[in-house]
Amino acid sequence: SAVISQKPSRDICQRGTSLTIQCQVDSQVTMMFWYRQQPGQSLTLIATANQGSEATYESGFVIDKFPISRPNLTFSTLTVSNMSPEDSSIYLCSVVTVLDIQYFGAGTRLSVL
Amino acid sequence: AQRVTQPEKLLSVFKGAPVELKCNYSYSGSPELFWYVQYSRQRLQLLLRHISRESIKGFTADLNKGETSFHLKKPFAQEEDSAMYYCALRPLPDSWGKFQFGAGTQVVVTP
C-alpha cells in the first residue's frame, strides 16, 4: 500500500491570495494526480503531476491558476493561485502504485472568503 | 468520452436488508470498473475492481458489458456500510489520467 500525507488538512484563505498544498507519499509510485471535489459533487481530475516536467492539465484547468510541481517520485505540490470563493473545495492528492492500485490522500479542505 | 452514472444520490436501507448501488457507464472501448468507498471522516479508498472478481466486506459487483453496468450488491447491509460510494471507470488501454468518477451514492443503513 501507499501512505499519503497531505498538508494542510484545511485552510481558510482570503480572496486574491494563493495556497500551496503538499503531497508526500511513503513509497515510489508510478503516477501522481490532483483532484478537486466541489461541495456536493464528485471528483474532478485537475492534472497529472509529471516528475521533472510540466504537469498535464485537464480541460478547464490551466497552469497559471493551478501550478503543480513534482521534483521527485514521492512529492508533489499544487498551488491554488489568486483565489476566489469559487475555489472553495476539497483538493485531493492521489497516487498509483507499481501494483496498479490508486490511493488517495485525506484531502485539503479549502475555504475562500 | 466516457461517462459514469450513479442514478441514486441517497440510498437508505435497514440493517439486514439487501442493498444494490447502481452504476452505468458509457465508453466505446473495454473499460476497467471500480468501486470506491469513503467512510465518515476517512479518505477515499478502493473497495472493488472488476478484474479482481473479489468479494470485499460482503460486497460484490459484476461487470455487465451488454447493459454497460457495474452494480454493487450486498445481501445483508450492516450499519458500518453507511458511507459514500463512488463508481469509477478507467478506459483501457488508456492511462489512469482519464479516470472518471460517478457522482456518488450516499448509503445510510439504519438499525
Q: How close A51 comes to chain B (CA, Å)?
A: 14
pLDDT at B94: 63
Q: Which residue in the set A31, A41, A106 is minimally distant from B103, CB to CB?
A: A41
pLDDT surpassing 90 at residue A1: no
Chain B partners within 8 Å of A41 (Cβ): 103
Mean pLDDT per 10-residue section of chain B, whose length is 111 residues: 91 97 91 93 91 86 92 96 95 76 96 92
Taking residue A52's Cβ as centre, other Cβ atoms within 10 Å add up to: 9
3-state secondary structure of B98: helix
> Is there a contact between B96 and A102 if contact means CB atoms under 8 Å apart?
yes
Alpha-carbon distance of B95 to A11, in angstroms, equals 32
Q: What is the pLDDT of residues A22-57, one digit of tens each?
A: 999 998 888 999 999 988 788 999 999 988 889 999
Determine which of A4, A34, A43 to mutate to test the interface with B (most B C-beta atoms within 10 Å). Answer: A43
Alpha-carbon distance of A35 to A4, in angstroms, equals 14
Give the range of the structural domain holding residue A96, as residue numbers without chain letter. Answer: 4-105
**CATH code of the domain covering residue A45:** 2.60.40.10
Domain count, chain A: 1
Q: Which residue in the set A31, A41, A105 is minimally distant from B96, CB to CB?
A: A31
Domains and CATH numbers, chain B: 3-110 (2.60.40.10)
Q: Which residue has the cell 438499525?
A: B111
pLDDT surpassing 70 at residue A13: yes
- Average confidence (pLDDT) over A11-29: 95
Indicate whether A78 belongs to any domain: yes
Q: How many CA atoms does the CB half-sphere of A106 hold within 13 Å?
A: 11
Alpha-carbon distance of B106 to B13, in angstroms, equals 11
Q: What is the overall mean pLDDT for chain A?
A: 93
Q: How many CA atoms does the CB half-sphere of B101 hold within 13 Å?
A: 21
Q: What is the pLDDT of residues A52-86, one digit of tens each?
A: 889 999 999 999 999 999 999 999 999 999 999 99
